Amino acid sequence: MFTLIESCIHKGDNKSRFCKEQGIRKSTFYYCYKKYTQKKRSGNSGFIPVRIDNRDAEVSPGKIEIQYPNGVRLLLTANTKGLSSIIELITIY
């Protein structure tokens, strides 16, 4: 959605007309527009720092475990095919 918002901004289009042309509800557009402007103001790139916790670590070559703040755990093993597979798994959550 941010791509559409940037397109609207760069074209200088009227937001209502843009929404109608794109088939987007105005409320959806303005909600995303607000999030877009907040993100731009904060300078947040969307990345968060990675914390490596070695307290209970077992060294397992070829294994990576990612634990999300909500408790979901993702275990990647050496047989995981390619970086695109890893990215796809990570972006699910």
**Per-residue model confidence as pLDDT tens digits over 35-93:** 888 887 776 556 666 666 666 556 566 677 777 777 888 777 766 556 566 666 666 55
- Residues 53 and 83 occupy one common structural domain: yes
Evaluate if residue 31 carries a pLDDT over 80: yes
Model pLDDT, residue 27: 92
Domain that holds residue 18: 2-42
In a shared domain, residues 91 and 53: yes
Give CB contacts under 8 A, 24+ apart, made by 25-29: 28/1, 29/4, 29/5
Number of structural domains the chain divides into: 2
pLDDT at 9 over 80: yes
If asked whether residues 7 and 31 sit together in one domain, one would say: yes
Same domain for 63 and 90, yes or no, is: yes
